[in-house]
Amino acid sequence: MVSNQVDHILAATMRLCLDQGLGAVTMRSVAAAAGVTSSAIVYHFKTRERLLVALLDHIENAVAASRSRLIDAFDEEQLAFAGPAACIMAILHRLLDEQGLAIIALSEIDRFLRDTEAEQAARTIMCRAWDRADRFWQNLPVIADEDREGKAIWAAAAQGMIPLVMLDRTPVLRDARIARIIARLADRLARREVQLQPPWSPPEPLARAVRPTGKQQIVDATIRLSGKGGIEALTHRKIAAEAGLSVASTTYFYPTKDDIVADAAYDVQARAMNAVVDGSVPPPMFMSRIMLDERQEERPEMATLTAFMTAAIRSPERGQFATAVRRVRGLDGIRWLAARGYRQTDRLDGILWAATSVFLVQKALLQPAAERAAILDDVSDVWLTRLFG
């Protein structure tokens, strides 16, 4: 009976999280969604952090179950007829339809639980999640003929493109984008000549806005809070407390929360895009300098860009925001390639590399801090050479 109630509560919590975002998940809201008393939630989970750990585990198992149903979807005749690219496209389409938002929520919950008493428990679940995802893609019969490195790149690109393609509001456009990325990946791995999109020049670095001290404090506070817990739970009061200012100061500069988020989003775009063309970054340290701060933790602006992407995916009314975020991630990718000397590339390659690096970064962040830079730099260097060298 107790187990049944726990399962019922977690199912209701998952629906609440996927529909309204992590900020909507509180002990009280979960009790209301599950139709139980608040004391029942406290009895089973004690704290919100422990509830979120249980939710993380519940969602991860649901995603793994969906993948397991897909692994044997193709028989030998179908595999021979369709080929690797078509099969992986089909699997991605189904996985996105069934568990797209759930996959996004995994990283969102994990990021929120960092620096809490539940951090280690969350990390254990996320290590399992990424290992399962990696094994799923690498063990697909459709890429059995690939070498070890090729399989790893297929896995990283397929898993990493999920949040990027979910920014497309229309399923038809989303599926078309998947097809283009997968086809380009197949060509790059096979060393086939690709037809590049028309030549273009990377945009100039975005000018950082000059703001009064208090206004910049608010933007910086918003970036820190968004990177940790997303934007749904942001309030003027929380931002003011993080910035060390009064609520009156935040409302003076920014009448609404959306005003703050829009300004913070521009700042994040400038930091994220400009970081990849800093000529002082030596190639052996390229990826780690972009992604990690001096403590070898994820740079706040990178975490915030992910949080903004999650918010854009979940909220249809943020369509223009979704377009802007997708553009930034694609431009980041092509800037990274150009800065490393890979000039015979285009925007599609930029999106491909952005997707591939998403997976690599998430796996690196689950390792001890002292090992992250080496993982990011060594693996990315090998993968870049394999794809574009």
Query: Domain containing 93 — which CATH number?
Result: 1.10.357.10
Residue 368 lies in a domain: yes
Does 250 share its domain with 356?
Answer: yes
Amino acid occupying residue 296: Q
Residues 130/363, Cβ–Cβ less than 8 Å: yes
Mean pLDDT of the region 59-65: 96
Residue 164 lies in a domain: no
Residues 216/250, Cβ–Cβ less than 8 Å: no
- pLDDT score at 212: 85
What is the percent of the chain where pLDDT is above 90?
Answer: 42
Res. 139: pLDDT tops 80: yes
- pLDDT score at 1: 46
Of 70-74, 105-109, 342-346, least confident by mean pLDDT is: 70-74
- pLDDT score at 321: 64
Range of the domain at 235: 213-388
What's the structural domain count of the chain? 2
Residue 139 lies in a domain: yes
Of 95-99, 132-136, 264-268, least confident by mean pLDDT is: 264-268
- pLDDT score at 64: 95
Last residue of a domain, one of 145, 164, 186: 145
Amino acid occupying residue 352: L
Does 239 share its domain with 110?
Answer: no
Res. 134: pLDDT tops 90: yes
User: Closest by alpha carbon to 295, among 373, 379, 200, 188?
Assistant: 373
Residue 182 lies in a domain: no
Does 8 share its domain with 135?
Answer: yes
- pLDDT score at 56: 97
Residue 318 lies in a domain: yes
Does 26 share its domain with 121?
Answer: yes
Residues 218/254, Cβ–Cβ less than 8 Å: yes
Mean pLDDT of the region 47-61: 96
Mean pLDDT of the region 279-302: 75
- pLDDT score at 128: 96
Question: Best-predicted range by mean pLDDT among 44-48, 79-83, 200-204, 216-220?
Answer: 44-48
Dist CA 375 CA 385 (whole Å)? 16
Give just the sign of the alpha carbon dihedral 109, 110, 111, 113: positive
> What is the DSSP code string of 125-147?
HHHHHHHHHHHHHHT-GGGTTS-
Last residue of a domain, one of 91, 116, 145: 145
Res. 159: pLDDT tops 90: yes
Last residue of a domain, one of 122, 145, 168: 145
Res. 66: pLDDT tops 80: yes
Of 175-184, 249-258, 259-268, 315-324, least confident by mean pLDDT is: 315-324
Residue 258 lies in a domain: yes
Res. 266: pLDDT tops 70: yes
Q: What is the mean pLDDT of the chain?
A: 85
Res. 104: pLDDT tops 60: yes
Does 374 share its domain with 253?
Answer: yes
Does 111 share its domain with 232?
Answer: no
**Chain segment 295-342, per-residue pLDDT in tens:** 998 887 777 777 777 877 877 666 566 666 666 666 667 777 877 788
User: Closest by alpha carbon to 160, among 209, 103, 214?
Assistant: 103
Is 292 in a helix, a strand, or coil? strand
Residue 204 lies in a domain: no
